[in-house]
Amino acid sequence: MIMEKIDLKNLTLPELTAWVESLDLKPFRARQIFAWIHRPGFSDFGQMTDIAKHVRQLLAEKAYLSRLVPAKVECSSDGTVKFAFRLEDGQLIESVLIPEEDRNTLCVSSQVGCAMGCNFCLTGTLGFKRNLTAAEIVGQVDAALVWLQDRGGSGKGVNNLVFMGMGEPLLNFDNLIRAIQILMEQRAHDFSGRRITVSTCGIVPKMKELGEKVPVNLAVSLHAADNETRDRLMPINRTYPLEELLKACREYPLPPRRRIMIEYAMLKGINDSPAAARLLVKKLHGIRCKINILPYNASPDFPYERPDDETIEAFRQILRQAGHTTLLRSSRGSDISAACGQLAG
């Protein structure tokens, strides 16, 4: 029987250590191997110059290293970069690099397509294809780092990760957690939990567990403060209505001095009224949060429009006067379909 090779990029350090020991190798080898395989651009066991040749040969016999290489790269006029990756089975995913003056943020995908069907989001029109492996999630980070290095990198690398790309992260929970643990491991990418944000449209049963397993930031795609409107925009609300979602927000194990990010896409005539703002204030009472207003990125595929600037600012002022830190996200990468809700392969 031919033994199937294992993709080492899928393994956390404890998992790699157990696998290495199963080959009768010393545990310290796992730490060496782990550090090597998570160097951006690393692709061949032969590059491991401080590991004995017979160990490298054994690794090549038993394992392989997956790697994502962009099938296409698009650059926006505002500096945003969108990567399209063709996976081994032919599926396509996208991730987005958002450069700013003092940092680079990478928007990472967790699934091929999305099953949530939010009716203002292009990704939802694709339907759900499959979950990404941990290696495919981490591979997006590796590929962005290689791209930056090839262009001089501006010294910043990737500073922040946001799981706001294609898919609902909490529906790919095990692979999400494994990928985050790999990304946070000091011998890999050494990301702080403060620099990682996981966004959910409201998978209530997994929210608390996320915070218990990894100390990351939580973003909640709310987009409406009443069940009737949210039912219309986001089918998940019929399964986990607002009351359950907001209760889960209150119970989320937030690290000290951190707050949940409430994402609110403003749609003209749908959820942008002063009354909607006041209701949002009421519903968020007692939740340690800040609010991120996202003026809608109009698409010919949907009947929604962006509110005018005066309406957006009036809405924002109601939230601020109630004591909420309220951010206004500027749309980035819309000319290459890389803005929020536009990733569709």
Q: Which residues, other chains included, contact 332 with Cβ-Cβ below 8 Å and sequence gap of 6+?
A: 76, 78, 80, 98, 338, 339
Angle (nearest 5°) at CA 310 between 263 and 319: 40
Q: Using one digit for the tens of pLDDT, what is the confidence trace for 34-71? A: 999 999 888 899 999 999 999 999 999 999 999 999 99
Q: Using one digit for the tens of pLDDT, what is the confidence trace for 77-129? A: 888 999 999 999 999 999 999 998 888 999 999 999 999 999 888 888 889 99
Q: Residue 79's closest CA among 340, 336, 343?
A: 336
Tokens 């340690």 correspond to what residue? Answer: 288
**φ and ψ at residue 337, rounded to 5 degrees:** 55, 45
pLDDT (0 to 100) of residue 146: 94
Q: Using one digit for the tens of pLDDT, what is the confidence trace for 145-168? A: 999 988 875 557 899 999 999 999
Contact 216, 193 (CB under 8 A): yes
| Measured distance between the N- and C-terminal CA atoms of the chain, rounded to whole angstroms | 38
Which ranges constitute the DSSP H helices of 75-201?
134-150, 173-184
> What are the chain's domains?
6-64 (1.10.150.530), 70-336 (3.20.20.70)
Catalytic residues: 94, 340
CA–CA dist 133, 127 (Å, integer): 18
CA–CA dist 89, 98 (Å, integer): 28
**φ and ψ at residue 272, rounded to 5 degrees:** -115, 10
CA distances from 312 to 67, 78, 267, 339 (A): 43, 22, 10, 18
CA–CA dist 63, 134 (Å, integer): 16
CA–CA dist 341, 223 (Å, integer): 13
Q: What's the predicted TM-score (pTM) here? A: 0.93
DSSP 70: E
Q: Using one digit for the tens of pLDDT, what is the confidence trace for 233-269? A: 999 999 999 999 999 999 999 988 899 999 999 999 9
Residue 334 pLDDT > 90, yes or no? no
